[in-house]
Amino acid sequence: MENLLLTRIDNRLIHGQVGVTWVNHVGANLVVVANDEVSSDKVQQDLMDMVMPESIQTRYFSIQRTIDIIQKSSAKQLIFLIVRDVHDALALKSGGVPIDKINVGNMHYEEGKEQISSTVSVDEKDKEAFRKLDELGVKLELRRVPTEGQQDILKLI
């Protein structure tokens, strides 16, 4: 599926950095947010749409709906897929979404998590999910913005 340009893990989902910098960098014309909570929350969707250029379409799907329909997308839809956490990414990959590369941008620190970079914190379940994605052949890079050098997240966990 050549039109799935990049998948990003960012617990903020769509925000200014994604809406401007990343969309332009990957050349997307469609941003798909795959998240069960946001897929049914019009207020959150409207807030995220506010930071997107008018020329870029957005879709908000549950994890299962994304699995069911993403491969039916038109070749003209150049997709930037965003998920909130590594577990959603693993569910998509395990469900058949042809993810071959994941950009890890932001996973907030919370109690019980270890900070492995300035913007990414993980616990043992997160580490296990990253290792499983690696076993499934997914390239994993940690990079906040396109101009930053990328790091192999597996070397940090």
Residue with tokens 């903020």: 12
Provide the pairing of β-strand 101-106 with 114-115.
Answer: unpaired
Q: Cα dist. 112→32, 55, 106 in Å?
A: 30, 40, 17
Catalytic-labelled residue, pool 15, 25, 87, 108: 15
User: Is residue 25 flagged as an active site residue?
Assistant: no
- Distance, in Å, from the CA atom of 53 to the CA atom of 75, rounded to the nearest integer, reads 21
- Distance, in Å, from the CA atom of 112 to the CA atom of 115, rounded to the nearest integer, reads 10
CB 85 within 8 A of CB 10: no
The set of catalytic residues is 15
